Amino acid sequence: MNKSKQFDLVVIGTGPSAGTVAKKTAENGRSVAVVESREFGGTCALRGCNPKKVYTNAGNLIDQVRRANGKLGTFSEASIDWSQLLAFKREFTQPVLQKSEQSFQKHGIETFHGIARFAGPTTIQVDDWQLEAKQIFIGTGARPVSLGINGEEHVTHSAEFFELSKMPDHVVFIGGGYISMEFAHVVARYGSEVTVIDRHARPLKGFDPDLVDQLMRWSTGIGIQFICGSRVESVSREENGMLQVVTADDDARQQTITTKLVVHGAGRVPNIGELNLDAGHIQHSKQGVVVDEFMRSVSNPHVYASGDCADHDQPKLTPVANEQARIVVKNLFAESAERKPDYGVVPRVVFTSPCLAAIGMSQWDAEQHGFDLDVRYQDTSTWGSVRKTGQDCAAYKILIDKKTDLLLGAHLLGPAAEEVINLFALAMKFDITATNLKSTLFAYPTFGADVRRML
């Protein structure tokens, strides 16, 4: 027999946006329940951006030491100890595992473990519990897309990659997005051979092609092989434990790669498949729960969603999810939902070594929209600020509207790109013209000061 409880709010998921919505609502005196099908804490803290940064920091540090050797100092051979790296990563993830659920409970929130499924517009079924709620928030994030290939069970997902205590001497990454490129650079700095297989003509399709091409040339030089324009057809395990990866290009030409580890980096999809959304009268698409400008379901006014599991036109990134969650808290129990997220223009970063960063339009997009463009593009590998780090892979492309002098897009490759891109984010959010940004005196010598030279 089902047991039942009633709440003002039921939250599905425990990641950054779900945690914000649940705790802020509880602080406002409402009764709240959270439901989690995995470990409490969510993808970002346990299996995503936070542990990822530990690994990419390791790869970047090794890169810096090797580039600086014989220039900025003399160093013995720098290397990554993978088991040591795993132990250090766990210093960040283990406290989340141990304290996340307690943190919810300290806010007076009831916690439930299991798969949440809608049993009606305002009813959530979790095992033998029926949770009735005035409002429901979905913050279930994303999951790896199904590859739809024979032998998919032999492919390692990013969450499993983060728990490996040793790294084999050859690794294949399927897909050329953030996950593959970031992990590939770390594994290459470890010393393993790396192969990235991407069905597109080049990886990182959402980034400027000129800068991606430069990064690919640099990556090839550190031991990363790219097989582009090909798809993986199957993965099979041999008797000796090795994996056979079969690829095929558009002309059906096949290639077989033998490796010890195959990692999924072919993209993610909204994690909504088990929610039984139809029973909740919740419209959804391949991009997630369909929401209006207030982050409310367009078909069920009792339901809100944000982040990677919601269908919206912003990048599926943690800062976006956090901003959406902030607005959901404002709208949930208001007399009418009126608050909208204030995104500005959202920067994107691939934490390779060096980093690749972007904000705003691509050159192709700007041209398609008919802007009269001033395109400022230069390889900056010879600039003093870059050379002083020992690096020799850097470039920028800035897009300016000639009519208004406003920035339309900024694309950066090189040391500190992940930080400098934030200056462009600030300028674009508040309509600071290229001329005014160039006239700003930045601390020198810094990478931020290079912005004036770019403009």
What mean pLDDT value characterizes the chain? 95
Chain segment 86-137, per-residue pLDDT in tens: 999 999 999 998 999 999 999 999 999 999 999 999 999 999 999 999 999 9
**What are the φ and ψ backbone dihedral angles of 300, each rounded to 5 degrees?**
-140, 105
Task: Assess whether pLDDT exceeds 90 at residue 193.
Answer: yes
| CA–CA separation, 32 and 328 (whole Å) | 14
CATH hierarchy code of domain 152-266: 3.50.50.60
Place of tokens 């999809």: 269
3-144+269-331 and 152-266: identical CATH topology? yes
Q: What integer pLDDT is reported at residue 123 of this predicted model?
A: 97
Q: What is the DSSP string of 224-286?
A: EEEEESEEEEEEEE-TTS-EEEEEEETT--EEEEEESEEEE-S-EEES-TTS-GGGGT--EET
Taking the alpha carbons at both ends of the chain, their separation in whole angstroms is 68
Average pLDDT, integer, range 425-439 = 97
Report in angstroms the alpha-carbon separations of 162 from 51, 52, 56, 309.
8, 8, 12, 23
Cβ atoms of 285 and 277 closer than 8 Å: no
Q: In degrees to the nearest 10, what's the CA dihedral of 414, 415, 417, 423?
A: -130
| CA–CA separation, 24 and 329 (whole Å) | 7
Instruction: Give the start-to-end residue ranges of the domains of the chain.
Output: 3-144+269-331, 152-266, 354-454
Q: What integer pLDDT is reported at residue 215 of this predicted model?
A: 98
Q: What integer pLDDT is reported at residue 337 of this predicted model?
A: 86
C-beta neighbour count of 301 within 10 angstroms: 13
Q: What per-residue string of b and e applies to 350-373 under the rule 16 or more CB within 10 Å gives b?
A: bbbbbbbbbbbbbbeebeeeebeb
Pick the CATH number of 3-144+269-331 from 3.50.50.60, 1.10.357.10, 3.40.50.920, 3.30.720.210: 3.50.50.60
Minimal CA–CA distance to 138: which of 128, 158, 159, 124?
A: 124
Chain segment 290-336, per-residue pLDDT in tens: 999 999 999 999 999 999 999 999 999 999 999 999 999 999 999 88
Minimal CA–CA distance to 138: which of 34, 244, 263?
A: 34
| CA–CA separation, 126 and 9 (whole Å) | 15
pLDDT: which is higher, 214 or 1: 214
Q: What integer pLDDT is reported at residue 1 of this predicted model?
A: 61
Q: What integer pLDDT is reported at residue 114 of this predicted model?
A: 96
| CATH H-level, domain 354-454: superfamily | FAD/NAD-linked reductase, C-terminal dimerisation domain (3.30.390.30)
Q: What integer pLDDT is reported at residue 2 of this predicted model?
A: 77
Q: Are strands 288-290 and 110-113 parallel, antiparallel or unpaired?
A: unpaired
| CA–CA separation, 101 and 41 (whole Å) | 8
Task: Assess whether pLDDT exceeds 70 at residue 169.
Answer: yes
Chain segment 397-418, per-residue pLDDT in tens: 999 999 999 999 999 999 999 9
C-beta neighbour count of 134 within 10 angstroms: 15
Chain segment 29-54, per-residue pLDDT in tens: 999 999 999 999 998 988 999 999 99
Angle, to 10 degrees, between the axis of helix 82-106 and the axis of helix 16-27?
20
Chain segment 323-377, per-residue pLDDT in tens: 999 999 999 999 888 899 999 999 999 999 999 999 999 999 999 999 999 999 9
